[in-house]
Amino acid sequence: MSDPFANAILQLEKTSKYLSLDNVIAERLKTPDRVLVADLKIVLDNGGTKSYKAFRSQHNNSRGPYKGGIRFHENVTEEEVKALSMWMTWKCALIDVPFGGAKGGVVVNPKSLSEAELERLSREYVRAFAGSLGSEVDIPAPDMNTDGKIMMWMLNEYEKIIGKNDPAAFTGKPVENGGSQVRIEATGMGGVSVLNEIYDQIGVKHSEISIAVQGFGNVGYWFAKLAYENNFVIKAISDSKGGVFCETGLNPESLMKHKEETGSVAGYDDVKSIITSISPEELLALNVDVLVPAAFENTITVDNAHDVKAKYIFEMANGPVTPEAEDILLSNGVVCIPDILANSGGVTVSYFEWLQNNNNEIWEAEVVREKLNIKMTQAYSDIVGIQEEHNVDMRIAAYMLGVQRVVEAIRG
């Protein structure tokens, strides 16, 4: 398995060639400011205790407080968390929100825990790292297998420790607890803003564009649903247990109902159209216009990059294409819309949530949607401008923009 942190450094090194970075800054950017590690010991429902390894990587805060999600997954590693924190730094700079980059993770299969155990683990995470968190220091948010409920347990624990309210210390909270309208769908919505922009600029009807989405969690679902509502044709969707294909298009909302009832998209049927089963691997090689990896890192590697037939890859997951795979894709004319642009809608609305909490404001959903769309289309057009000026691919252009902004903040 390709090491995501090595990939993140490689991407930074590729970009550095186009920016005249001095060595001191280049070296500083390659390493997180700090990586906090803890063993979280919790009491299980059966009275026993169990320990879970936990991380918080704070990569860079030159542009503002560290910001990044917390992931609960059995495959979490320190290297993964470090990579994700570095990507957050570039992402926040690229989308131009005043945050640095961080990421957290716990090595756990949350499905193996009861709700009470999950709450104890979430609170323990905060007890371990509280001294390094806060709305002006480091602001966590949900990521894989974490959600608004977990953010509320964490915020509650944090406020108990510091002895005062600090609602902006965690984002991705439920709306009734100070969360922002549109935060749940924000990551998918940001991706669809860019999708609309690309095809509207080319001048192709959305109904002529077919899409395959790998991963049907928060990001994959909302991307698929909003793309469907914008008249794109969602031909295939997969999750960890299987996938489905329909030549005339799937309705993501009814597919989600099926997933909620059965635990997977696999086995979905619809009387009005012909649905066939496909494996998650087959989905990646489908003959569609847009392929959307929305599950995890290292999905497209040297082993399967040659099979990709899509014209665009929308990296809604973080780090789904390895650098070696990208070389193959580029030589085959496939355009990668890089993760730091494609999935930056989530942190953008997290920023709006932070602003609302700090200013005691509540914004209407329409206001959030409009502001998000402005941010996404601005970042996309800035990147295209850099691409045209320097004749580089979209990832290099996105990195040039993000890294350059961080370097300017470091230089002051």
Query: Can you give the C-alpha Rg of the chain in angstroms?
Result: 20
Q: Which of 140, 179, 191, 215 touches ligand NAD (CB under 6 A)?
A: 215
| CA distance to 228, 243, 312, 404, per residue, from 309 (Å) | 21, 18, 9, 33
Q: For the segment 290-309, give every residue that binds ligand NAD (CB under 6 A).
A: 294-296
**Shortest Å distance, C-beta 141 to ligand NAD:** 7
Q: Estimate the share of the chain in helix, then strand, then coil, as percent rounded to the nearest 5.
A: 50, 20, 30
- For position 181 contacting ligand NAD by CB under 6 A, the verdict is no
Nearer to ligand NAD, 16 or 171 (CB): 171
- For position 348 contacting ligand NAD by CB under 6 A, the verdict is no
Nearer to ligand NAD, 52 or 296 (CB): 296
- For position 85 contacting ligand NAD by CB under 6 A, the verdict is no
- As a whole number of angstroms, the distance between CA 102 and CA 81 comes to 8
Q: For the segment 92-121, give every residue that binds ligand NAD (CB under 6 A).
A: none
Give the interface segment with ligand NAD, choosing from 22-30, 120-128, 142-150, 151-159 (CB under 6 A): 142-150
Q: Which of 214, 348, 357, 404 touches ligand NAD (CB under 6 A)?
A: 214
Q: Which amino acid belongs to residue 42? A: I
| Tally of CB atoms within 10 A around 1 | 9
**Shortest Å distance, C-beta 158 to ligand NAD:** 20
Q: Which of 290, 317, 400, 407 touches ligand NAD (CB under 6 A)?
A: 317
- For position 143 contacting ligand NAD by CB under 6 A, the verdict is yes
**Shortest Å distance, C-beta 43 to ligand NAD:** 26
- Burial of residue 400 (CB within 10 Å: 0-12, 13-18, 19+) is buried
What's the longest Cα–Cα distance across the chain?
A: 63
| CA distance to 62, 132, 156, 347, per residue, from 137 (Å) | 11, 7, 17, 16
**Shortest Å distance, C-beta 22 to ligand NAD:** 31
| 3-class secondary-structure state, position 39 | strand
**Shortest Å distance, C-beta 132 to ligand NAD:** 21
Q: Which of 60, 210, 343, 348 touches ligand NAD (CB under 6 A)?
A: 343
Nearer to ligand NAD, 16 or 280 (CB): 280
Among residues 173, 164, 111, which one has the least CA distance to residue 362? 173
From the list 67, 103, 235, 375, the catalytic residue is 103
**Shortest Å distance, C-beta 264 to ligand NAD:** 8
| Tally of CB atoms within 10 A around 364 | 10
Order of strands across the sheet with 49-60?
34-43, 49-60, 101-107, 66-73, 138-142
Nearer to ligand NAD, 161 or 177 (CB): 177
**Shortest Å distance, C-beta 358 to ligand NAD:** 21
| CA distance to 60, 98, 157, 169, 397, per residue, from 152 (Å) | 26, 23, 8, 11, 37
Binding mask 216-255 for ligand NAD (x = CB under 6 A): xxxxx-----------------xxx---------------
**Shortest Å distance, C-beta 242 to ligand NAD:** 9
Report which residue's Cβ sits closest to ligand NAD.
Answer: 217
- As a whole number of angstroms, the distance between CA 66 and CA 92 comes to 10
- As a whole number of angstroms, the distance between CA 91 and CA 347 comes to 8
Give the interface segment with ligand NAD, choosing from 8-16, 197-205, 270-278, 316-324 (CB under 6 A): 316-324
- As a whole number of angstroms, the distance between CA 31 and CA 180 comes to 32
Is residue 309 annotated as part of the catalytic site, yes or no? Answer: no
Nearer to ligand NAD, 29 or 224 (CB): 224
Among residues 273, 307, 283, which one has the least CA distance to residue 211? 283
Q: Which residues bind ligand NAD (CB under 6 A)?
A: 142-145, 187, 214-220, 238-240, 280, 294-296, 316-318, 343, 346
Just list the catalytic residues. Answer: 103
